[in-house]
Chain A
Amino acid sequence: MMSSISMDNSRLMPRAKLYKYIAWLLMFLVLILLPYFITNPFYQRLVTEILIYGLLAMSLDVILGYTGLLSFMHAAYMGIAAYTVGIFVVYVDAQASLWFTFLLGVTVVILIAWPVGWLQVRTGGFAFALLTIAFGMMYYTLVWKSRDITGGDDGLFGITRPTIAIGDWVLGSTSNPVDVYYFTLCVVAICFFLTKRIMQSPFGAVLESIRENEKRAAFIGVNVRRYKLQAWILACALAGVCGVLFTYLKGSVSPTMMDASAGGSVLMMTLLGGLGTLWGSFVGAGLFIFGQDYISTMTEHWMIFMGLAVMLLVIFMPAGAAGLVNRFITKSKD
């Protein structure tokens, strides 16, 4: 019986693979040509925002979907990078290069996430999740109260947008919505493929073993805390990348990007998209942000509908949008 199953697989796998490649290719074409279809700058920015939030939701998937760690306030780490870059550009060096601010934002996030993660991984699953809220609220309050530096609830304005250049080779400006779209697309694509590779590597296999059974993982010799911490730092560093991208997309930073509701939104995007796939998070971010944009034209209580949609999804489609696609692929294999 087993041999017939593996035979079926070997016969039908190429077709599923072909579909996969076609889907990837189509998606790339669409993404590259998108600014030609969508000429309204508002929607160009909205799509860029989806890419950024997709990356953020994906980085949450690294800890939630692959390692089994729940963070309620993942957006906080995006906020830390955004404020770091914003404050640096406003107060220190308005001419700071794009690459330097990337390095700065991500480094600061890592320096903060490291000790916080060190503490968090020393607790169990539930306490871990609660601590993410505690620290998230702490960052938020800190930003909110340091009005003199951060602008408090007004936000931080006047962030100079740097040119996108490699050495002397100027590619564009972060103030142009189309340039910023392509730049974001490149950064997000690099982060996505790199993370995908890491999750498919032996390292990703260790993370999955922790998700599947933490106790057994320890008893095959996995230093569970160390790997959890590394996954956490990877996820926070990626959130940092999102923060820098977001700062230049908006040209300002507001504390609402790191409040509890923002943290919940990212979690919803990841869940909407489906856990443990990485690409699902982008679908989730798209559904969430377009949904928000669409429903909010009809009612200001769009969160109610979004919450309802997520509830229904979690109950009836726990694997999210990615699960739906996977189900289709499995069916096409039979």
Chain B
Amino acid sequence: MSIVLKTDNLSKSFGGVKAVHNANINVEERKLKAVIGPNGAGKTTFYNVLTGYFSATSGEVYFMDRNITKMPIHEIVKLGICRTFQINTLFIGATVFENVRIASQIKNGGSYKILSSRRSLKNVNDKTWATLDKVGLKDKAKSFANELSYGDQRSLEVGIALAGEPKILLLDEPTAGMSDGETKRIASLIRELTNDITVVLVEHDVELVMSISDSISVMNQGEIIAEGTPEEIRKNELVKKAYLGERKN
């Protein structure tokens, strides 16, 4: 099994606060890796450093043996690393179709065809419809992003990331605030995705994570305190104490 994404003692401090401290993670190809941890454990900060939104205080990030620690965001995306956000980050005044279409356009090229209509990129349009179908938003293609229900906006969040045709997809609590039905649909979509690509999932819903992940890393107070299969994590004493134990109380 090859490792696609790994970090080497990755750290991020804000002033004196160590939001992420010497975090090491190994993500295997076409596997579903989950990162769990209590609120404020540093999961989102970890994502932000991984994807170039924050610069790392120390440590390295490798994607397919390539050091991407200091790369600008758009170049990291170009390598095939796409992400979603915990707080919806959409092109809010554009239609659902355009939200996905523009992501596909950036991936597939044509941005400098300055005298053609944006609707003329046939390949991009076809791929956009396919992506919308995948995340269940085909019927709402003409709606504006700000007219969607919260659950649909979460789906669109995933749709935009998928339109970038990632090699590795980083999801930040994709099902937060979704209804049970929507959660199930997204969960099965995530599972299905691992047939083709690698997925990293930050999630609060421990049961969901336990049921669909191949491997789990547990974060607590900025550190990764355990890494292993769901079974191993379930048995890990440290994890029980720091995280799962808390929930039982």
Q: Which A residues contact B (CB, under 8 angstroms)?
A: 2, 5-6, 197-198, 200-206, 208-209, 212-213, 215-224
Contacts and interface: CB of A to CB of B under 8 A. Distances in A.
B90 A213 contact: yes
Contacts of B143: 2
Interface residues of A, dominant DSSP:
helix
B122 to A, nearest CB: 12
| Smallest CB-CB A-B distances: 8 pairs | A221-B77, A212-B91, A220-B103, A218-B73, A221-B106, A205-B118, A216-B89, A223-B74
B67 interface: no
Given A2-B139, A208-B94, A203 B111 contact: yes
Nearest to A205: B118
Given A203-B112, A220-B160, A221-B77, 12 more contacts: A2-B140, A5-B142, A201-B117, A205-B105, A208-B91, A209-B91, A209-B102, A212-B94, A216-B90, A219-B82, A221-B78, A223-B72
B43 interface: no
25 contacts: A2-B139, A198-B114, A198-B115, A200-B117, A201-B113, A201-B117, A202-B110, A202-B114, A205-B98, A205-B111, A208-B91, A208-B94, A212-B92, A213-B89, A213-B90, A213-B91, A215-B53, A216-B85, A218-B73, A219-B53, A219-B83, A220-B77, A220-B160, A221-B74, A221-B106
Interface of B: 51, 53, 72-74, 77-78, 82-83, 85, 89-94, 98, 101-103, 105-107, 110-118, 121, 139-140, 142-143, 160-161, 163-164
A220 B106 contact: yes
A106 B161 CA distance: 40
A213 B73 CA distance: 14
B91 A206 contact: no
Contacts of B91: 208-209, 212-213, 216-217
